[in-house]
Amino acid sequence: MMPYFRPSRSRPITTLGFLAVVVLALAPFERAVAAERWIEEPTPQNFHVEMTDVNGPVFADARGMTVYTWNKDKSGESSCNADRYTAYYSQEHDFALREPERRLACEQVWLPVHAEPNATPVGAWSIITRHDGSRQWAHRNAPLYTYAFDHMPGAVNEVDRDWPAVRENGRRPLSPKLDNPASVMVQVFPQWGRVLTTLDGVVLYSANLKSKNKDGVGAFAPFLMPELARPHGDWSVVTLKDGSQQWAYLGRPLFYPVSEKTRVEAPPDFIAEGGWRAARLIDEDISGWSPVIVQTAPTPPDGVIVQRTSAGDVLADSRGHTLYAMRCTERTPDELACDNPGASGRYHSDVCGAWEACEKTWPRLLAGPNAKSNNRTWSIAAIDRTTGRFASTPDKNTVRIWLYRGHPLYMFSGDLKPGDITAQFVNEYDVDYYYLRVLSTSSDYDPSRVQ
Confidence category of residue 101, pLDDT binned at 50, 70, 90 = confident
What are the boundaries of each domain within the chain?
Answer: 4-173, 184-296, 304-449
In the predicted structure, residue 214 carries a pLDDT above the cut 60: no
> Which residue, 330, 339, 334, 337, is CA-closest to 362?
339
Q: Which of 79-93, 158-172, 199-213, 401-415 has the highest mean pLDDT?
A: 401-415
In the predicted structure, residue 161 carries a pLDDT above the cut 60: no
Q: Are strands 193-198 and 125-129 parallel, antiparallel or unpaired?
A: unpaired
Q: What is the mean pLDDT of residues 32-45?
A: 80
In the predicted structure, residue 18 carries a pLDDT above the cut 60: no
Report the 10 Å Cβ neighbour count for 395. 8
Q: What is the mean pLDDT of residues 335-339?
A: 85
Q: Which of 120-129, 161-170, 215-224 has the highest mean pLDDT?
A: 120-129
* pLDDT, the chain, mean: 79
Q: Which of 24-28, 73-77, 321-325 has the highest mean pLDDT?
A: 73-77
Q: For the chain, state the CA radius of gyration.
A: 23
Please measure the distance between the N-terminal and C-terminal CA atoms of the chain and give it in whole angstroms. Answer: 41
pLDDT > 90 in the chain, percent? 47
pLDDT given at position 290: 86
pLDDT given at position 340: 86
Q: Which of 9-23, 69-83, 87-101 has the highest mean pLDDT?
A: 69-83
Confidence category of residue 445, pLDDT binned at 50, 70, 90 = low
In the predicted structure, residue 21 carries a pLDDT above the cut 50: no
Task: Report the half-sphere exposure of 52 (CA within 13 A, side-chain side).
Answer: 32
Q: What is the pLDDT of residues 218-275, one digit of tens each?
A: 678 999 999 899 999 999 999 999 999 999 999 999 999 886 544 554 433 333 333 2
pLDDT given at position 379: 93
Q: What is the pLDDT of residues 282-310, one digit of tens each?
A: 334 466 788 999 999 899 999 998 888 88
Choice between 407 and 210, residue whose per-residue pLDDT is larger? 407
Q: What values do phi and psi take at 106, rounded to 5?
A: -55, -45
Q: What is the pLDDT of residues 366-378, one digit of tens each?
A: 999 999 999 999 9
Q: What is the mean pLDDT of residues 96-124?
A: 92
In the predicted structure, residue 33 carries a pLDDT above the cut 50: no
pLDDT given at position 449: 59
Say which residues have a Cβ less than 8 Å from residue 44's Cβ, sequence separation at least 6.
Answer: 115, 119, 122, 125, 137
> Which residue, 44, 49, 64, is CA-closest to 139?
44
